Amino acid sequence: MKRDRKEAQRKAKALVAKMDLMEKASQLKYDAAPIQRLGVPAYNWWNEALHGVARAGLATVFPQAIAMAAMFDDKKMEKIADVIATEGRAKYNAYSAHNDRDIYKGLTFWSPNVNIFRDPRWGRGHETYGEDPYLTSRLGVSFVNGLQGDGEVMKAAACAKHFAVHSGPEDLRHEFDAQATPKDMEETYLPAFEALVKEADVESVMGAYNRTNGEPCCGSPTLIQKTLREKWGFEGHYVSDCWAIRDFHEHHGVTSNARESAAMALKAGCDVNCGNTYLHIMAAYQEGLVTEEEITQACERLMTTRYLLGLFDGSEYDNIPYNVVECREHRDLAVETARNSAVLLKNDGILPLDKTKVKTIGVIGPNANSRVPLYGNYYGTASRYVTILEGIQDYVGDDVRVLYSEGCHLYRDRVEALAWEQDRLSEAVITAENSDVVVLVVGLDETLEGEEMDEGNHVGSGDKKDLQLPKPQRELMERVMEVGKPVIVVLMAGSAIDLCYADEHAQAILQAWYPGAEGGKAIAQLLFGEYAPSGKLPITFYRNLDGMPEFTDYTMKGRTYRYMEGEALYPFGFGLTYGKAVVTDARILNSVDASSDIQVEAVIKNTGDRKVTEVLQIYIKDEESVYAVKNYSLCGFQRVELEPGQEIRVQMTVANKAMTAVTEEGERIIDSKKFTLFVGFSQPDTRSIALRQDEPVALTVRL
C-alpha cells in the first residue's frame, strides 16, 4: 500500500497538541464534536457497509454477507467492496457539501463481520462469511482491501468485528462470558482477525459485547493490548460495540459505575466509544482513573484515521459524483452476485425449467412476494426491488401464466387476524392443483433471525430455538407437496434449516439466501437456465441438533464440518450445478518440507454440453498429530469456468500454515510427517460424494 501512516500520525500528533483536554475528550465518542477554532468539523464514526452502504438512503443493496461467502470468490468480493467504497465516497462528498455530518454518513464503515458462525442457532450468523476460519479470512481480507483501496488515501476505513469469540446467544450478550480454550482461540476464533490485521492492514477493530475468558472485550488487556497490538502489530483504532462499555457496570459487574467503565475501556486501548459512557471520561480523569496521556493517545489514533482518509487534506476521491450511487453497473453486479451465490442443493432433473413447455407456474409461499427477505439486515435503500414472484413474472412475460398464493404467514397461524387458522392454505392447494409446476418460496427474514431486538424478533432475541421452519410453513410445504405436482423449493434464509422433508419430497431445492434488492431477477434467471447455479455452502446444513453442544458452550467439539461427528444433510462446500465438471487428475508440483508451501495442479474437464462454473476446493487432513482437527480443513479454493468439452489445468498454492496443528496451550506447530490433500468440488465426506456422485482426488504429502 502507498499510504504513509507515519506521516498521518505526525500530522495527527501536531493537531492534537493544539487541543485542550476537553477538546481531546470530545473526540472519543462516536459522534465527535466539532472544534471550530482548529477547523475540525463534526464527525460521526458510525457507519455500516455489510453488503452495501447502509442506513443513509439510496445505495446498491447487495446480497447478504453469508450469500456473498457462498460464491467462494475472493476476487469478486474485493470488487464488491470497492463498489461499496465508491458509493460511500459519493454519498459522503454530497452530504458534506450540505454540511450533513449525521450518523451513517461518514467513511468509517463497521464492516466486515468476521466472527465464526459456529452454531446454526445464532441469529446474526448471516452477517458473517460462515463457519470456516480459512474461508472467512480470505474473504475478509479481500473485502477490506476493496473497501480501503490501495491509493495514497484510504477510500474508506474498514472494521473487523466483533473481537473476539462472539456468536451468541443474542439475549445474553450483554452479560455473557464466552469461555474458549487457547486451542479453540488459535484454531478457530482468532485467525480471521489476525489475517485482516496482518495482511489487509484493517484500520479499525470493534470489540464484542460479551466477555471472553472473564474480560469484557471492549476493555480487555489480553485481547486489545497483548494480542491485537503487541502480538499482531495493529496500529489502527479500536471501537466499542454500541453501548457495550455501559455493560461493564450494568451487566458484567466488573466495574461499579460509568467512570470506572470508561477508565477500564480507555486504559485497555478502546479509542472510540459507540455509546455515551465516554461522557464520563473527564470525571474519570478528575478522579485519577485515567491520565491525560491516555486520552491524548486515543485522540491521536482517531485523528490519524481521519488524515489517512484525506478528510483534512483532500484526496483523489473528493470528486466522485453522486450519480454513481446505485448506477446500472453496480446494480448489475449485485444481480450477478445473487446468481453466483445461490446454491443448488437438490435437482432430480426438473431444473432448469423450459418456459416453452410450462403453461402455468404456481408461485407459493410467504417469502415469494416479500421485500424483507431480499435485503437481510444492515441494508441501504434501493430504488427498485424485485421479489421472487416478480422475477418469475418478468422473466416469462405473457408466455406462461403465473398463479400466486402467499400460502401462510411467515410465522403466525393466520394472515388475516379475524380469519380461521391457516386462512391462505386452501388457496395454496388450489394454486398447486392448477399449476404444471410449483415454486415454493419459504424461509425466514430479519424478524426471525438477526441481532437482538433488531426487528422485535417474535421469540425475543434474534436467535433460533431450533432448525425447523415455522410451523405454518411446515404445514404449507406438506399440503402443497401432497397435491402431487412437481415442487421446486426456494429457501430464503441466512442459516442452516432442517430440510429433511423437502429433501425427501421436493424435486429441487435452491438456497437463495437474502439475495439483495433485485434478487428475484437473479433467481428467475437460474430457475429458467439462463445461468446455472454455482454457489457452495459456507455453512453445514445439519439434519437436526442431535449431539450439538449447548448454545452457550463455546468449545468447537461437535460443531462445523471440521469437528462434527455425524453426517450432514447438506455439507459445507456442497453445491450442484446444471452441467458436469470433473477433476480427472491432480498432482503436487514441488518438493515439500516443513517450511514450504504446497503447489498443486488439478486437471479439470467439462464433460457436459453446457458452460460450467465450479469451485475447485482443496482440503487437508493431518494424518498423525494428536492435535489435528477431527476431520479436515479447507485450505484452498478457486472459481473456474469451462466451456463444453473444455479441459483446463489449474494451479493453486496451499499455504504452509495449513500443515500446522494447534496444541492445547494454543501453540501452532507442524506436528506430523504425513498429510492428505483432497482436490475436488466438495469435501471428501461420504454425503458429498453420494450427492455429487464423484469424489475428490486424494494426494499424499510426506515431509
Residues annotated catalytic, as ranges: 241
Give the Cα separation of 511 and 493 in Å (integer): 8
**Spatial contact of 213 and 177, defined as CB atoms under 8 Å apart:** yes
Query: What secondary structure does DSSP assign to 597-620, as a single string?
Result: -EEEEEEEEE-SSS-EEEEEEEEE
> What nine digits make up the cell of 536?
457452495
**Spatial contact of 566 and 595, defined as CB atoms under 8 Å apart:** no
H-only helix segments in 356-491: 372-375, 388-396, 425-433, 471-482
Provide φ and ψ at 496, rounded to 5°: -70, 130
Give the Cα separation of 175 and 130 in Å (integer): 25
**Spatial contact of 308 and 203, defined as CB atoms under 8 Å apart:** yes
Provide φ and ψ at 553, rounded to 5°: -90, 115
> How far is residue 569 CA from its own chain's centroid?
22
Give the Cα separation of 244 and 241 in Å (integer): 5
Instruction: Give, in degrees to the nearest 5, the angle at Cα 233 between 230 and 239.
Output: 90
Q: Which residue has the cell 463444453?
A: 644
Query: CB-based contacts of 495: which residues, under 8 Å, 6+ apart?
Result: 66, 117, 120, 122, 125, 126, 444, 449, 464, 539
If one counts every other C-beta atom within 10 angstroms of the C-beta of residue 336, the result is 16
3-state secondary structure at position 361: strand
> What nine digits make up the cell of 399?
408466455
Element (H, E) at 363: strand 360-364
Rg (CA), the chain: 26
Give the Cα separation of 460 and 466 in Å (integer): 14
**Spatial contact of 477 and 489, defined as CB atoms under 8 Å apart:** yes
> What nine digits make up the cell of 645?
468439452
Range 456-461 contact pairs with CB under 8 angstroms and sequence separation of 24 or more: 457/123, 458/411, 460/171, 461/123, 461/169, 461/170, 461/171
**Spatial contact of 85 and 148, defined as CB atoms under 8 Å apart:** yes
Amino acid at 438: V
3-state secondary structure at position 333: helix
Element (H, E) at 204: strand 204-207
Give Cα separations from 151 to 147, 308, 317, 322, 409 (angstroms): 11, 10, 10, 21, 49
233 burial type by CB count under 10 A (0-12 exposed, 13-18 middle, 19+ buried): exposed
Give the Cα separation of 34 and 694 in Å (integer): 63
Q: What torsion do the CA atoms of 554, 168, 493, 142 make, to the nearest 10 degrees?
A: -80
